[in-house]
Structure 1
Amino acid sequence: MEDGNSRIGPPLKDFYIPDYILVPESEKFNVPEEPSCPVIVFINSRSGGQLGGDLIETYRELLNRVQVFDLGEDAPDKVLHKLYGNLEKLKSEGDPLAAHIEATLRLIVAGGDGTAGWLLGVVCDLKLAKPPPIATVPLGTGNNLPYSFGWGKKNPGTGRQAVLSFLQQLKEAKEMAIDSWHIVMRMRVSNEGTCDPIAPLELPHSLHAFHRVSSTDSLNVEGYHTFRGGFWNYFSMGMDAQVSYAFHSERKSHPERFKNQLTNQTTYAKIGFSQGWFLASLFHPSSRNIAQLANVKIMKRPGLWENLHIPHSIRSIVCLNLPSFSGGLNPWGTPNQSKARDRDLTRPYVDDGLLEVVGFRDAWHGLVLLAPNGHGTRLAQASRIRFEFHKGAADYTFMRIDGEPWKQPLPVDDDAVVVEISHLGQVNMLATKNCISKSSNGPSTPFAASQDGEDDSEDSQDEWEGGRRKFGAAETFKIPENIDIAHLS
């Protein structure tokens, strides 16, 4: 097999990984110089119209082809399991390059926020001693993850110079730890259809059914199904998720109409008008506000739940981890000193173990984010939040995790649907000098996460704890074969 080494010259030798590291059956040989910034590239070929496919070809021309993976063909969990298994084998044989690559490896993921979250989930669950930091290339519609860490929010160029420029930024980027959040949802089994997913419910890929739960597991409640997953950017509920759901449904029905970012954003705005997000008082009656849909509790201090007051005007609620929502808007902003003193509110940090909980009345309220110092209605900061839905104002609501929406049935009798979000751990991102995210420990934060999701609080052994041990990635955080990954963008 011809190795990519013949094509690699300065400066691309800095990023080069030889065949035998990634393909165990390849012939082993000595590399004259260790790469200073070895990379593995994952690209969603179906993101950004034709951009994903074009980007794959450019990266494969510039690097060793075996370093570049099409997520439509190769799942990241299988790729990384194979890679790290081979690295361990090579290290045991005394291969110095294997140890160097393990210590310095960086990952690139190109796609939408859903695609990036997929890779983040895999890395989080691998429980590696030295997890590789991740850079994100914006190929989606919102691109909140790449924007939060300085990689931009516009779809990039796919030519040689654009990729070389990105690789140079990657080489200079700093590591920054960010929180990961675990989400658990329990609901009664539907009388119709199967539970994977519960008919007619189509859950996002980041929520997974417990198909087999031990009889001794506290999560095993007869007649109910429990789902778990996670996110890095946000969980939202209400009108904004309804508009997103309508957009994704339209894109699924007519994919040929969604070929570029500008068209997608224009269509999104039109759907916002048609769904009544700008006229919520007419299209979305007051009986459908968040306060009447759910009882909401938060935990600011370990073991102490408190009810969260939500004004009746609020029709959308966002639990935010990063300072970017809906394509670069910052709903939380920076509270002034009086707010910090009187309400115990701080500026948002991506690694402080707190979610920012923000409410919106309608899209006009959301437009205040375009103004200097504009923000939504700051409701709370919390390390844990719980939504309890009982029979009442509506048959369903809309929810969204990191850009992936679904239509959630609500109880029709005395049962309850419960959604609980809690802090799990951290993963490392790569941030450029244009990064807008802030760390509680400064701009560059060493990896200091609890890898197994445990904490020291007296509440840590509650009914959900069994599900918090695992983010849901390495074994289960997989895109089902019948799901078009284009919808992750």
Structure 2
Amino acid sequence: MSNATSSLDSGNEEIQHLEKTCKLTDSSDYEQKNSPTHQETSSYSIYGVDWSKHAKSTSHCWLPYLPKKSSSSRLCTCLLCQNSQLRSDSSFMECPTCSLIVHSTHLSEYTEANNYSNQCSLPPCRPSFMDDSTTDDTTTYDQHCWSPLSNLSKPCTYCKNKKLKATSNDRHDQETLETEFVCMWCSRQCHRLCWENIKNDANNNQCDYGEFSNIIVRPQWLHRATNNPCRFQACMPESPGANDNLLAPVIFFVNKLSGGQKGQEFYRTLVRLLNPRQVFLLENDSTVMQALEIYSSLHNARVCICGGDGTVGWILSHLVDRFPSLTNLPAGICPLGTGNDLSRVLGWGNEYTSARLFKTLTQIARAHPVALDRWKIHLETLDPNASDAEFGTIHRSRFSFREHPKFIRNAELPVYDNHRTPINSFFFNYISFGLDAAVVMDFHARRTRDPSEFTSPFKNKLMFINESRKYFNEFAFGIAWNIGSYIRLICDGQDLTNTIRNYHSVVLLNTPGFGSGTQPWGRTSTTTAVNDFEAQDFSDRMIEVLALNTTQMALIHVGFRGTRIAQCRQVRVELSHPMPVHMDGEPFYLAGSTAVDITHAGQVMVLNNE
């Protein structure tokens, strides 16, 4: 990967910042450094999607080869290869866009020699951007991009037959009949004889980009840009066609560790179905900034966040900060996490399946943009002596433990050392304090230590249940302690600590969803107030505060609700002891004598699929 080096006007501070931080790759450092052919001495790499100045429109997206159970014998497609038979899966690279497979040594040779021209020994990939230095005819990019195919899996697009009968016993005729073609954009298939009849016919060779045509970034929309630190800029033609108003190109952000670490497989699927330059593997903030800088001016563009609640919150915060209020690219969600609460609320489903992916791809262009509140947490250190004196007056049960709850006693264990501060300062869904956050904290700490044990959402849920068993005493003897002994709750300036006695968790909700699909606030009428509480609305700049005891923590999973405390515009939570906190899928510990101020921090446009 190479850093952007474009020279820009000194007055444009945002572009200068991007120039310093924007690493031009979406294939990830992980893919490069762990690929078999990575060379530290190379001045640039050709693995993953190439965003460098050497990039060609038909450059491949090389990734480590993943064998498929149904695959037969595999051959290296390099024309210069002297031993095309694959020896071991680890020595090969593949392009998921066009399915080519090559020995990794060939790519090493190209990289070491800094010689991209040698790649002429490989068949080209389908074009991913418009190279203005080679052509200015945009119509050439809307034609079929044919690739050889061993057998048709469906009838030929043109003759409507799956097989053709030979008219002679000539061997050449037999080989011709056995060669088929598939379009790498629209996936239409045809016989070679049919292809030869239409390949020079502009009308018959026109491609409509298939069932995902309205969300694909067309190659002619993406150009090199000398005034952009990311070297590329996307925009639609100035004279749109009759159907262009139906187009809604989508930019995908994929967390490779989500979905039981299935994110990379998910990434390869998207790269195969869409333009690889519209799909980004998440590595750091620079990756997000790069994508938004390239596609921010693309008409009617949308974003799809592929990950869990933490990933969703991360990208949404970037959208709020990058665009003026409520003008951001609206964001949909493909749920790859364990909880996926915001995805459920917005109608994008509760977990990832291949069927869910295709459904998301067809629905995201039709989903309706809606506003979603964002909330900010601000941490303040309190005077320990003053806070101890104040909390000393808080009522404690006569059945109180001789010891504090386990999550208080074990707060200083080394296993939590990497989780002492929040990874960000904003949330869109929820934040909770107490026993439920303690269970999530232990689950997250174990997943961080042993990621290989968490290989699917279902297994993740089993591991979560196993972690909750560690707090058996806290659940079984809930009468002996309460969360009000350790925190002070202040809503819109009013001290409501007395209302959380006999409870074990405090939850603040921006949306109805919490804890993998529960709705602890319960349902309220959309038109009238119930028990002095207005209908819950994630765009009303109000946050709902509720409390859960150990019984309610179980019952909310079968449709019951918690105890409503308040609807307010700002909340202050003061901690007398170290406390586990769970915020949009990301748990962390806060030190004692800490105050958490929670205030409204803008809104973002998201896509509602209900």
In 1, the alpha carbon distance for the partners of 2:445 and 2:417 equals 16
Cα distance in structure 2, aligned partners of 1:201 and 1:266: 22
Q: Could you list the per-position Cα deviations for residues 109-158 of structure 1 after superposition, in whole angstroms to 9, with x for gaps in the alignment? A: 1011101111000001113372111011111110111111111112222x
Match of 2:587 in 1: 405
Structure-to-structure mapping, 1:476-487, within 5 angstroms: none
- Residue matched to 2:341: 144
- Give percent identity, aligned residues only: 28
State the alpha-carbon separation in 2 of the partners of residues 189 and 65 from structure 1.
53
Q: 1:431 is matched with which residue?
A: 608
Deviation readout 1:403-434 (Å, 9 max, x if unpaired)? 111122203xxxxx11011112211111112x
User: Given that residues 336 and 351 in structure 2 are in contact (C-alpha distance below 8 angstroms), is that contact kept between their aligned partners in structure 1?
Assistant: yes
Answering whether residue 244 of structure 2 is matched by residue 48 of structure 1, we say no
Paired position in structure 2 for 1:246: 442
Contact residue 325 and residue 331 of structure 1 kept, 8 A: yes
Q: Which residue of 1 aligns with 2:330?
A: 133
Q: CA deviation at 1:340?
A: 4.0
Choose from 210, 215, 223 the match for 1:10.
210
Deviations 1:37-67 (A, max 9, x none): 1110110111113421111111111111100
| 2:279 equivalent to 1:68 | yes
Q: Tell me which of 149, 172, 182 is aligned to 2:366.
A: 172
Mean CA deviation greater in 145-154 or 162-171: 162-171
For 1:36-435, list aligned pairs within 5 A. 36-72=247-283, 75-83=286-294, 87=297, 101-102=298-299, 104-128=300-324, 130-157=327-354, 162-187=356-381, 202-206=420-424, 229-276=425-472, 279-281=475-477, 285-286=480-481, 289-299=482-492, 305-308=493-496, 309-335=498-524, 340=529, 343-362=531-550, 364-372=551-559, 374-390=560-576, 395-411=577-593, 417-433=594-610
| Structure 1: tracts of 5 or more residues without a match | 88-100, 191-197, 207-228, 300-304, 412-416, 434-489
Contact in 2 for aligned 1:272/1:278 (Cα 8 Å): no
CA distance in 1, matches of 2:333, 2:597: 28
Q: 1:262 to 1:26 in 2, by over 3 A?
A: closer
More moved, 317-326 vs 171-180:
171-180
User: Superposition RMSD on alpha carbons, in Å?
Assistant: 2.9
Contact kept? 1:333, 1:375, Cα under 8 Å:
yes
SS at match of 2:213: helix
Q: Distance in 1 between matches of 2:446 and 2:565?
A: 32
Structure 1: how far apart are the matches of 2:375 and 2:587?
Answer: 17
Structure 1, residues 199-248: CA drift from partner, whole Å, max 9, x if none? Answer: 77522311xxxxxxxxxxxxxxxxxxxxxx11000010000000000101
The answer to whether the Cα contact below 8 Å between 1:39 and 1:105 also exists between their aligned partners in 2 is: yes
Residues 382 and 595, structure 2, Cα contact 8 Å, conserved in 1: no
Contact 2:305/2:332, CA 8 A, preserved across alignment: yes
Give the distance between the partners of 2:234 and 2:569, measured in 1 at CA. 48
Give the structure-1-normalised TM-score. Answer: 0.69
Q: Matched residues in 2 for 1:297 and 1:30: separation? A: 51
Number of matched pairs: 365
Offset, 1:18: 3.8
SS in 2 for 1:120: helix
Does the aligned pair in 2 maintain the 1:290–1:310 contact within 8 Å?
no
Could you say if the C-alpha distance between residues 22 and 232 of structure 1 is closer, same or farther in structure 2, counting changes exceeding 3 Å?
farther
- C-alpha contact 1:16 1:39 (8 A) present in aligned 2: yes
* CA separation of 1:326 and 1:27: change in aligned 2, threshold 3 A: closer
Aligned to 1:453: none
1:254 offset after TM fit, Å?
A: 1.3
Query: Following the alignment from structure 1 to structure 2, what is the Cα–Cα distance between the partners of residues 52 and 307?
Result: 45
Contact 1:22 1:66 in 2 (8 A): no
Query: C-alpha separation between the residues in 1 aligned to 2:448 and 2:276?
Result: 31
Given the superposition, is the C-alpha separation of residues 307 and 152 from structure 1 closer, same or farther in structure 2, using an over 3 Å criterion? same
* Distance across 1 between alignment mates of 2:341 and 2:605: 16
Tell me which moved more, 120-129 or 379-388.
Answer: 120-129
Q: By how many angstroms is 1:180 displaced?
A: 0.7
Residues 76 and 122, structure 1, Cα contact 8 Å, conserved in 2: no
Change (3 A) 1:41 1:27: closer
Contact 2:419 2:587 in 1 (8 A): no
- 2:520–2:556: 8 Å Cα contact kept in structure 1? yes
Residues 127 and 280 of structure 1: CA distance in aligned 2, closer, same or farther (over 3 Å): farther
Q: In 2, are the aligned partners of 1:149 and 1:432 still within 8 Å (CA)?
A: yes
In 2: Cα distance, 1:325 partner to 1:256 partner: 26
| Structure with max Cα Rg | 2
Distance in structure 1 (CA, Å) of the matches to 2:463 and 2:218: 44
Aligned pairs for 1:11-30 (under 5 A) are 11-19=211-219, 21=222, 24=225, 25=231
Distance 1:107 1:172, change over 3 A: same
Comparing both chains, which one has the higher relative contact order based on Cα–Cα distances under 8 Å and sequence gaps of 6 or more?
Answer: 1
TM-score normalized with structure 2 length: 0.56
1:157-184 Cα shifts (integer Å, max 9, x gaps) = 2xxx654322111122111111111111
Q: Secondary structure at the match of 1:172?
A: coil
The CA deviation at 1:370 is 3.5
Change (3 A) 1:58 1:156: same
The offset of 1:80, in angstroms, is 3.8
